[in-house]
Amino acid sequence: MYEQFEWFLNDFDTDSMGILNYWYDGEYEEAIEMIEQFTDEDWQKLLSSYKEKSDFWKDRMVYCFTDKNNPYQVQILNDLLKTENDKLFIKIIDVIRINFDVKKVSNIEEVLKRIDKLLPTVDSISQKVLLDFKEKGTVN
């Protein structure tokens, strides 16, 4: 199943000709269904290959992560929080705040500091995402 997922995301590894809109119109749902069928072997393949993929590809991948009980998804999200790409970082924050337990983020203090640095530099929608994550990450 990993090979099919990889091929599928490769088709959406660019935003030429409005492919981005096509992705959000529902194609991502097919990718989620593929991930739901992953075996441990598929997850191992993804773990060994995702770091070499483009940030656009990673963006598509994390958008498909919806299972808060899947340790592979949690591991990849925590690893990708180290990205230097602010847009990808915000997407990961958004996915975590919606689908996962924010308090289980490794290095939460470091993530919250990065959010504080980003807040004055991003658009209002991204600010809302970051502030919501921050609120969920700091509630006692």
- Domain segments of the chain: what residues? 1-57, 65-140
Residue 136 tokens read as: 């969920």
> What confidence tens digit (pLDDT) does each residue in 36-48 have?
999 999 999 999 9
Beta carbons of 56 and 14 less than 8 angstroms apart: yes
Beta carbons of 76 and 65 less than 8 angstroms apart: yes
pTM for the structure as a whole: 0.90
Residue 34 tokens read as: 């593929």
Residue whose structure tokens are 């989620």 = 32
DSSP reduced 3-state for 28? helix
Q: How far apart are alpha carbons 115 and 113 in whole angstroms?
A: 5
DSSP reduced 3-state for 139? coil
Model pLDDT, residue 14 = 59
